[in-house]
Amino acid sequence: MTDAPFRFPVAARYAGMESSPLKDIFSLAARENVVSFAGGIPDPQLFDLSPIAEAYDWVLTHQGTRALQYGVSEGERELREQAARRLSRTVPTDASQIRVTSGSQEGLFVIAQAMLEPGDVVLVESPTYLAAVQAFAVHGAHMIGVDTDEHGVVPDALEEAIRTHHPRFVYLIPTFQNPTGRTMPVERRQAVAEVLLRTGTPLVEDDPYGELSFTGSTWAPIAALPGMSERTLLLNSMSKLMSPGVRIGWMRAEGPILDTLAVAKAAISMQSSVVDQLTVARYLATADLDAHVAQVSAVYRERRDAMAQALAPLLPAGAHITHPDGGMFLWAALGKGYDAQDMLAEAVDAGVAYLPGWSFFASDPDRSTMRLSFVTHSPEVIADAISRLGEVIARRTES
């Protein structure tokens, strides 16, 4: 008797996703002797290692039996209290309004689980954060990109898209956006809030970068505007402030959706690691995260300057780069005739990698764009790698 042919079935929503152009790009970027600006990877030299080690030690010594046990789906009380305290700087928040997640990425997935039906439309900025699009897409949602300008999503375009497509929600990253590094000014936030209020549309506001400010100014989320807190799911993450490896984030919500979010979280993973939650809570209670974030932001600011200064003179006529006031990313549009995807292999051969921008568009990609993360390398390494990128661009300009 011969065995029947066998293959695990794959759900249609994951079909064709075994390999992705992005996976190929990241493996190219990981080649030896390549300076990669492709990933949004915090500089590990800047991790606040000793206070984090002390917090783990304290939790295991003083709360060990609890830390190693199952917890509750909504998240450990101490962490929700710390999260509520930080959020209350801009949006008054009670610990009961917090749902802890394993990073914002899980938060996006939990939201999609709780809210999306196959065929639903989600409106996103054009361009937007790719992995959010994936989390929504595997739940059968259609993403429609809304026009943006240098101040973020364009309110009239948003209103028209809402009236045409009746989205389940709008997904925005208003501060130090991924991938563009742009920030929505206050007036734009107000105009966007008015559109959302007028049309009764929920907002999913993703804010992992907001505290990484290079100017000293901080930005209140759209959720803080009058009438918006009860219509917004606001996501925060410790990934860029403390550690991405610890996988702790949270979202703020109000009303009955809080129960659904807890049920969805339980269905996915019961709860986030109790050890990690209690440790982050201890760290937030005893260490000075604000001072740490100020220090990290100062370093990132120098690196942004190094990248912008090196890149600006090398750009062809008609190209644009953003000048982020915080966060991790700079966005370059080389302009007509350039294809950043097409140019990547040559750039990698020259020892420098970036992320081609097309992947961040839900539709109509501008293929001349690229995302460059400035946070991982020293100013000297950045300047050197960007000059090599400049040579690659120049060869394209000539040909």
What track of x and - describes contact with ligand PMP for positions 306 through 335 (by CB under 6 A)?
A: ------------------------------
For the chain, helix (H) and strand (E) counts, in that order, are: 13, 15
Residue from 82, 97, 105, 359 touching ligand PMP (CB under 6 A): that is 105
The two tokens of residue 123 are 């409106």
Residue from 73, 126, 239, 272 touching ligand PMP (CB under 6 A): that is 239
* CB 377 within 8 Å of CB 328: no
Residue from 74, 206, 211, 276 touching ligand PMP (CB under 6 A): that is 206
104 binds ligand PMP (CB under 6 A): yes
Q: Which stretch binds ligand PMP (CB under 6 A): 102-110, 158-166, 215-223, 258-266?
A: 102-110
Instruction: Report the nearest approach of ligand PMP to the CB of residue 253 (Å).
Output: 17
At residue 103, what is the residue type? G
Closest residue by Cα to residue 229 from 261, 262, 260, 251: 251
183 binds ligand PMP (CB under 6 A): no
Closest residue by Cα to residue 166 from 130, 197, 120: 120
Q: Which stretch binds ligand PMP (CB under 6 A): 22-30, 99-107, 193-201, 342-350?
A: 99-107
The two tokens of residue 94 are 């009670």
376 binds ligand PMP (CB under 6 A): no
At residue 226, what is the residue type? P
Angle at 174 between CA 190 and CA 167, to 5 degrees: 80
Instruction: Report the nearest approach of ligand PMP to the CB of residue 375 (Å).
Output: 11
* CB 321 within 8 Å of CB 330: yes
Go through 61-86 and write b for each residue having 16 or more CB atoms within 10 A of its CB, e for each that does not. Answer: eebeeebeeebbbbbbbbbbebbbeb
At residue 243, what is the residue type? S
Residue from 71, 167, 210, 249 touching ligand PMP (CB under 6 A): that is 249
Tell me, letter by letter, the H, E, C secondary structure of 296-307: HHHHHHHHHHHH
Instruction: Report the nearest approach of ligand PMP to the CB of residue 206 (Å).
Output: 5
Residue from 103, 221, 357, 365 touching ligand PMP (CB under 6 A): that is 103
Task: Name the residue nearer to ligand PMP (CB basis): 178 or 183.
Answer: 178
Whole-angstrom CA distances from 71 to 67, 270, 279, 280 are: 8, 8, 14, 15
* CB 206 within 8 Å of CB 235: yes
Task: Name the residue nearer to ligand PMP (CB basis): 249 or 365.
Answer: 249
Residue from 244, 326, 357, 365 touching ligand PMP (CB under 6 A): that is 244
What track of x and - describes contact with ligand PMP for positions 20 through 59 (by CB under 6 A)?
A: --------------------x-------------------
Give the 3-state secondary structure of residue 237.
strand
Q: Catalog residues that contact ligand PMP under the rule CB under 6 A.
A: 40, 103-105, 129, 132, 173, 178, 206, 208, 237, 239, 244, 249
